[in-house]
Amino acid sequence: MTALICGSYAFDHIMVFPDRFKNHILPDKIHMLNVSFLVPDMRREFGGCAGNIAYTLNLLGGDVTPMATIGSDFAPYAAWMDKCGITREYVTEIETSYTGQAFITTDQDDNQITAFHPGAMSDSHNNKVTDAKGVSIGIVSPDGRDGMIEHARQFKEAGIPFIFDPGQGMPMFGEDDLKLFLEQATWLTVNDYEMQMFLDKTGMSPAEVAAQVEALIITRGGEGAEIVTKDKNIMIPVVIAKEIKDPTGCGDAFRSGLLYGLMNDLDWEITGRIASLLGSIKIEQHGTQNHNFTMDEFKTRFQSEFNMNF
């Protein structure tokens, strides 16, 4: 099976402020905020939801085809994709734009201030799902608003089952948008905060949401994940990371596991555990695409963590 992964590609600029934001922000001056933070440490990482999902699914041996729009500055990322053996056939360059850029500053209390420039993502609707051949499953992950709407519609019209993953794109959509996504999608995956936003925006109950898809997958951070199908609720345990270095991108790694399980007709108990382990492996490394493993190594750790095989 080939997975078409629709979503963003971005450069993540990750900076560390060796102090606390609260020490430099005057509460009575919030209305006229003008602050500058010295950040002696900075990393530039390859990121974006489609990029991250494709990277981890590729490590598992999945047949991945990302679809995204990128800018004229993409060359280093393109070289990385080539090194990883990930196709760029449907990664479209917008010459007049930058690739999406995230600027993330973290203080000593793990508070974050993030600025995001969407750049070429705003043109993602110009890519067409039907241009990709041989696709059997898909995912609509955070991207340009129009792109997410169009790609969900195109998956549905083409009869290709897909995961709807609104993620940080949730605020872009209103009640009607989200209800339409739910009608079109085969599976919905959200974290617990996004789930509450979904319910608040639509006025639906969790049971009503779950009834419209084959499975509703809710991640709950350190409490693991819940998979709700029409037949049962399945609780997926969290895998305790060997070392917590960077949670950024854990959700994308988790979604790679969902796709892998669906592509290989695995049951939800196994699929959820694969996803959970991938999230843990990611958190053990800085950046969203610096974790690495062979399939044999992954299966060995899976057996060790869960006392089962797949």
SS3 letters for the chain? CEEEEECCCEEEEEEECCCCHHHCCCHHHHHHCCCCCCCCEEEEEEECHHHHHHHHHHHCCCEEEEEEEEECCCHHHHHHHHHHCCCCCCEEEECCCCCEEEEEEECCCCCEEEEEECHHHHHHHHCCHHHCCCCCEEEECCCCHHHHHHHHHHHHHHCCCEEECCHHHHHHCCHHHHHHHHHHCCEEEEEHHHHHHHHHHHCCCHHHHHHCCCEEEEECHHHCEEEEECCCEEEECCCCCCCCCCCCCHHHHHHHHHHHHHHCCCCHHHHHHHHHHHHHHHHCCCCCCCCCCCHHHHHHHHHHHHCCCC
Is the pLDDT at 17 greater than 80, yes or no?
A: yes
Any idea which fold 2-21+39-291 has? UDP-N-acetylmuramoyl-L-alanine:D-glutamate ligase (3.40.1190)
Q: What is the pLDDT of residue 244?
A: 87
Higher pLDDT, 222 or 52: 52
Q: Give residue-wise pLDDT tens across range 210-229.
A: 999 999 999 998 899 999 99
Helix axes 175-184, 145-158, angle to 10 degrees: 30
Question: What's CA 158's distance to the chain center, in Å?
Answer: 23
Q: What is the pLDDT of residue 35?
A: 87
Q: What is the pLDDT of residue 140?
A: 98
Kindly report the average pLDDT of the chain as a whole number. 95
Neighbours of 232 (CB within 10 A): 8
Q: What is the pLDDT of residue 245?
A: 87
Average pLDDT over residues 42-46: 93
Confidence of residue 32 (pLDDT cuts 50, 70, 90): confident
Alpha carbon separation from 135 to 31, 124, 185, 271 (Å, rounded): 51, 18, 16, 20
Average pLDDT over residues 279-298: 95
Q: Give residue-wise pLDDT tens across range 138-169.
A: 999 999 999 999 999 999 999 999 999 999 99
In this structure, of 32-36, 198-202, 256-260, the range with the lowest mean pLDDT score is 32-36
- Listed by start position, the domains of the chain span 2-21+39-291
Pairing outcome for strands 187-191 and 215-219: parallel
Confidence of residue 109 (pLDDT cuts 50, 70, 90): confident
